[in-house]
Amino acid sequence: MDLEKKPEPEQQPQPQRQASPAESAPAEPDFADPQSSLRASDADRDRIADILRDALAEGRLDAEEHSDRIDAVYRAKTVGELEPIVRDLPGARPQQESAPAYAYGPDDAEGPADNLVAIFSSTTRKGRWRVSRRTNAFALFGNVEIDLTEAIFAQRLTTINATSIFGNVEVRVPENISLRGSGSGIFGNFEVVTLEGVDPQAPVVVINGYSVFGNVEARPKRGKWITDLQDRLRKHLGH
């Protein structure tokens, strides 16, 4: 006698356990966005820390939130990891800020150089001014200050030859250009903070020279950015 074979009950799929955030794989960096994949500098971390400090002082964050976010700031490796930390706070730069458009004037490699000399005195060049392709800065028992944060770059490469003898030469640049240097200090200090602009067409400032019982220093000025370089140059040239 044949027995009727009863169908076996269908097995219900077992619910899958969702991985916790700690077990999830870290997000891949967005290499299509050069700004987010750029390695974070000390200046980048300090800028974010300043925003958090202000938020704590204004009561937007409590002490515990501030502490957690500060820890995240100094663990961050890239700019893309820093920006979300302050995305909900005033003072944060827009995540999708468009890169500035750069336009330079005609190549004038043989043009005259600017000469800034301070002998037992002080010389300052700052504000809105057109930067020459070459600038010679000489300080003898004096001080030369060159501030490029509001300057108009009519060419991509700018070279500053700095000499300090018992004196001081200081150069300040915007944060979104490239800064390089080569020099030496003889019983003195020659310090150039290397900076690489995100935009490959951003201005490049090169500091060359030496100091003897003096100081030559070049570094970015926190919070200063070139955002309207093309318009500035066109207006300056009368186009």
Residue type, 215: N
Please determine, for residue 107, whether its predicted confidence score (pLDDT) is greater than 70: no
pLDDT (tens digit per residue) in 49-81: 889 988 888 888 898 899 899 999 989 888 888
Half-sphere exposure of 146 (CA within 13 A, CB side): 31
pLDDT at 24: 35
pLDDT at 46: 84
Please determine, for residue 26, whether its predicted confidence score (pLDDT) is greater than 50: no
88 SS3 class: coil
- The better pLDDT of the pair 202, 230 is held by 202
Confidence of residue 176 (pLDDT cuts 50, 70, 90): confident
Query: What backbone phi and psi angles, to 5 degrees, belong to 75?
Result: -95, -20
Query: What backbone phi and psi angles, to 5 degrees, belong to 172?
Result: -120, 135
pLDDT at 14: 52
Smallest CA-to-CA distance from 86 within 52, 50, 61, 57 is with: 52
Please determine, for residue 161, whether its predicted confidence score (pLDDT) is greater than 50: yes
Contact indicator for 140, 116 with CB cutoff of 8 Å = no
- How far is the C-alpha of 179 from the C-alpha of 146, rounded, in Å? 14
- The better pLDDT of the pair 5, 154 is held by 154
pLDDT at 190: 94
Worst-scoring range by mean pLDDT, 30-44, 108-122, 145-159?
30-44
Please determine, for residue 215, whether its predicted confidence score (pLDDT) is greater than 90: yes
Please determine, for residue 25, whether its predicted confidence score (pLDDT) is greater than 70: no
Contact indicator for 219, 193 with CB cutoff of 8 Å = yes
- How far is the C-alpha of 134 from the C-alpha of 239, rounded, in Å? 24
